Structure formats: C-alpha cells, structure tokens
Amino acid sequence: MSCSYWDSDALLSADFVVVGAGLIGLQIALELRALRPRDRIIVLERGVVPSGASSRNAGFACFGSLTEILADLDLIGEDRVLETIERRWSGLQRLRRRVPDAAMRYEPAGGNELFSQSDLPAIERLDEVNRLLKPLFGRAVFSRDDDAIGRAGFGRTFALLRNPLEGQLHSGMLMGELARLARLENIEIRTGATVLAIHEEGKKVDLRIAVSEQNQISMSAGRVVVCTNGFTANLFPEAGIVPARGQILVTAPVPDLRWRGTYHMEQGFYYFRNLGNRILLGGGRHLAMQEEATDEMVVTPDIQDALVRLLRQVVLPDHEVAIDYRWAGIMGFSADRMPQVRMLSPRVALGFGCNGMGVALGAQVAAELAALISSGP
Ligand SMILES: Cc1cc2nc3c(=O)[nH]c(=O)nc-3n(C[C@H](O)[C@H](O)[C@H](O)COP(=O)(O)OP(=O)(O)OC[C@H]3O[C@@H](n4cnc5c(N)ncnc54)[C@H](O)[C@@H]3O)c2cc1C
C-alpha cells in the first residue's frame, strides 16, 4: 500500500520509534519522554493489546529464589548474579515510583520456595546465598519457615523458605497504567502494527510494517528501539535471543484458601500464587524444553496436565477445583542469561533483559536503554 504525502510528512515519521509495547517498550518510551520532551515518540505493537509476556505473565515482583540463584551461580558466576539481582531490585523500586502500588495492585505479601525431598540439599547453601546478598539488602533474605507447610496444607513438601522482600501485582492493571501514563506524556501507541523489517540508511531508519494480511506501509524514524523480547529473532536473528513458551492456569475461586503470596519450586520452573481466592499456577517448561522453545502462543495438553497434577498433589491436595483460565505467553532468553542493552547499529538499539523475570528488571533496563540511545548521533 503506498503512503500519501500527508502520511509520510506527518503521520508515519517520528524521532523515536519503539517496537513492542511490553513492559520494556512502554517504559523506555516514558524514559525517553523525560529526556526528550519535544520529540515525537511512537510505539508500534503487533497485537491489539501487548501480546508477548507482559500481560500474560504471573505477576511475581521477584528477584530470584534460592534454587534459581544457585543455578545462576553455576551458569554465570557470582559477579554477574549479583549484578542482575541488583538491577532487578532497583528496577522494582523504579517501577513502584512510576506506578503507585494501588494502581497495579502491588501486594508485598512475601515470596516462598517449596522443596521436595530431592531438592533439600540446596538448603545447605542457604547461609552462603544470604551472605552473598547481604551487601545488597543489608539483611538475610531467605529464612526457613517449615511450619508454614502444615498451615497452608501443601502436599509432598519437605521444607519452605521465606523471602519477605518479594511481592505480587496485577499485570493487566500494570500494563493499563503504563499505557495511560504514555498517553498522558503524548506518546502515540499504534496497535495492530507488525514490524517486518528495520533498515538503517544514512541519518534515518526505515521500518516496514504489516497493517493487514495484504497491506504493508513504511515509516521512518530518527532512531529505533527494539523491545520485542521472545520475537526478536524474527527481526534480528543475530541478536541471539531465543523464544521460550510459558504456560499458566488459573482455578475457580477456592473457598477458605489458606495461604497468600508467591511460591516458587524447582529453580523457578514451577510457580504459583493467589489471585484473590483463586490460584494461578504456571511453568513446566523443563518437562519439554525443545517443544517449548517456540513463539507459538498456545497451551499444550502435556504441560497443562502436569500443572493440574502439581495442583492436586502439592498446592491444593485432596480438593477438587475447576480450572477457569489457561493461557501461554512467550519469554525470551539470551545465551548468558544477562540483560542486553546495546546498539545493533548507530541508530537502532536493542532492549532485552528479562530471561523469564522481567517484572522487576524491566524498569531498570528501560532506564539504561533510554540513556544509551538518546546519547547517540
Ligand atoms: C507465562 C509467563 C510467566 C511469567 N511470569 C513472570 C513473573 O511472574 N515475574 C516476572 O518477573 N517475569 C515473568 N515473566 C517474564 C516477564 O513477563 C517478561 O520478562 C517481561 O514481560 C518482558 O517484557 P518485554 O517488554 O521485554 O517483552 P514482552 O512483554 O514480550 O513485549 C514484547 C512485545 O513486542 C511485540 N512484538 C513482537 N514482535 C513485534 C513486531 N515484529 N512488531 C511489533 N510488535 C512486536 C509483542 O506483541 C509484545 O507485546 C513471565 C513470562 C511468561 C511468558
């Protein structure tokens, strides 16, 4: 579809185009606005609502459970683990300054980790991890609270660790509030706009955009920020970000639910929380790593059955409860598990950070990325 003069001159050009309206995309647009009050900033999103991870996640405002941190220590070492946790923690504080707790229903209900018998040896490293984190938090983060297992009625659980610093929030309300703040700041969000290609030429960047199955249009920008998370390989395969599907279910309300807060298991591969009196339960990707390395946003019977088994055996044993919602979302993973805030070319930047845990980290990555791209040519 060819563009009119009016389109090209006024509607389809911007100083900054952000691709992807997830947590990072919307927050980078807000950060850029603070740095560039007069610039035209447009966010392009392929879905009618953000359609990646940010509105399909579990809403844990977390920075890592004991077994996740131990797995990361083995993979990337102490310095990089500490750096990532520090960025997550400062991201969470930044997010809470931007969005009032009530507007995203943030609840500092605390986080927990459940240990099966085979996971118990990890607890021997509790003191080591607490010592490691003490300079960051000024206190021991994880403590044992095995009595809580009986109070909550969990099955097949041999130990429970508590982390009072973790919280949970309502991801839909958070994304709605970020979009509202963006509109207030005169940031244009265009939905139904799938970016097909990005080419830097001279002092501008051209974007090819699909607006329907048959129709494409072009847009030009001074600079472009790519925040497409698990879909980045469609635009920049060389960026090395691979997709990973995460699946979730939510139960019908459970009368007299005996616990509150967020819960992790098995290095974060399983997680659950309360949503009022409902239970949100997700994970299971480790049961089928290859099949789940996809950006196809559908649920599968095998993983959903595994989640239901976990619900019946551990989370809510001996109760029958209906499942009201099931969905999938797409995460992105980098090979070294580190956030990526970098220029792909002089006028195109990549903002990726989250490796499956972006609620807290997103605000920090957005701030770092805005500083990087606005200081460019
Ligand atoms: C099931 C699940 C549970 C999770 N639970 C948690 C949790 O409890 N706590 C936590 O911290 N993290 C969690 N995460 C991870 C967290 O949601 C992500 O790290 C975070 O949302 C990433 O934000 P983002 O902006 O980088 O990416 P996304 O939210 O994925 O945003 C990318 C956006 O780009 C759009 N897009 C992609 N390609 C194009 C294109 N070509 N053109 C235009 N638009 C495009 C997508 O539609 C999408 O809206 C979970 C993720 C999943 C999938």
Nearest protein Cα to ligand 1, atom 3: 57
Same domain, 140 and 207: no
Q: Cα dist. 352→54, 143, 189, 224 in Å? A: 13, 32, 20, 14
Q: Ligand 1 center to residue 256 CA distance, Å?
A: 33
Same domain, 161 and 246: yes
Q: Ligand 1 center to residue 52 CA distance, Å?
A: 4
CATH number at residue 208: 3.50.50.60
Q: Ligand 1 center to residue 249 CA distance, Å?
A: 17
* pLDDT at 339 > cutoff 70: yes
Whether 54 lines ligand 1, by a CB cut-off of 6 Å, is yes
Same domain, 135 and 246: yes
d(CA 76, CA 247) in angstroms, rounded, equals 26
Q: Helices 23-35 and 358-374 meet at what angle, rounded to 10?
A: 40
Q: Taking the C-alpha atoms of 370, 217, 2 and 182 in order, what is their torsion angle to the nearest 10 degrees?
A: -50
Under the banding of pLDDT at 50, 70 and 90, the label for residue 375 is confident
Which atom from ligand 1 is nearest to the alpha carbon of 271?
Answer: 8
Whether 227 lines ligand 1, by a CB cut-off of 6 Å, is yes
d(CA 23, CA 19) in angstroms, rounded, equals 12
Same domain, 262 and 290: yes
Under the banding of pLDDT at 50, 70 and 90, the label for residue 337 is confident
Under the banding of pLDDT at 50, 70 and 90, the label for residue 376 is low
Q: Ligand 1 center to residue 330 CA distance, Å?
A: 6
* Residue 148: φ, ψ to 5°: -65, -20
314: nearest Cα among 266, 370, 356: 266
Q: What is the mean pLDDT of residues 267-295?
A: 97
Tens-place pLDDT, residues 155-207? 999 999 999 999 999 999 999 999 999 999 999 999 999 999 999 999 999 99
CATH number at residue 299: 3.30.9.10
Same domain, 183 and 301: no
Higher pLDDT, residue 356 or 271: 271
Asked if residue 276 belongs to a domain, the reply is yes
Same domain, 34 and 162: no
Same domain, 343 and 324: no
Average pLDDT, the chain: 96
Which atom from ligand 1 is nearest to the alpha carbon of 60?
Answer: 8
Q: Ligand 1 center to residue 315 CA distance, Å?
A: 26
Whether 24 lines ligand 1, by a CB cut-off of 6 Å, is yes
In which region does residue 55 sit, left (phi positive, over 0), alpha (psi from -120 to 50) or beta (all else)? alpha
Same domain, 250 and 260: yes
Q: What pLDDT does residue 121 have?
A: 96
What's the total number of domains in the chain? 2
Asked if residue 28 belongs to a domain, the reply is yes
Asked if residue 328 belongs to a domain, the reply is yes
Asked if residue 86 belongs to a domain, the reply is no
Which atom from ligand 1 is nearest to the alpha carbon of 49?
Answer: 49
Same domain, 363 and 299: no
Nearest protein Cα to ligand 1, atom 4: 57
Tens-place pLDDT, residues 63-83? 999 999 999 999 999 999 999
Nearest protein Cα to ligand 1, atom 13: 357
Asked if residue 87 belongs to a domain, the reply is no
Helix (H) and strand (E) counts in the chain: 9, 18
Asked if residue 304 belongs to a domain, the reply is yes
Asked if residue 215 belongs to a domain, the reply is yes
Look up the domain containing 321 and give its range. Answer: 110-166+241-334
Whether 362 lines ligand 1, by a CB cut-off of 6 Å, is yes
Same domain, 117 and 50: no
Same domain, 191 and 43: yes
Q: Ligand 1 center to residue 153 CA distance, Å?
A: 33
d(CA 279, CA 259) in angstroms, rounded, equals 10
DSSP label at residue 49: S
Same domain, 250 and 159: yes
Calculate what percentage of the chain has a pLDDT beyond 70: 99
Whether 59 lines ligand 1, by a CB cut-off of 6 Å, is yes
Higher pLDDT, residue 373 or 212: 373
Q: Which residues of 211-222 are buried (b: 16+ CB within 10 A; e: fewer)?
A: eeeeeebbbebb
Whether 172 lines ligand 1, by a CB cut-off of 6 Å, is no
Q: Ligand 1 center to residue 359 CA distance, Å?
A: 9
* pLDDT at 230 > cutoff 70: yes
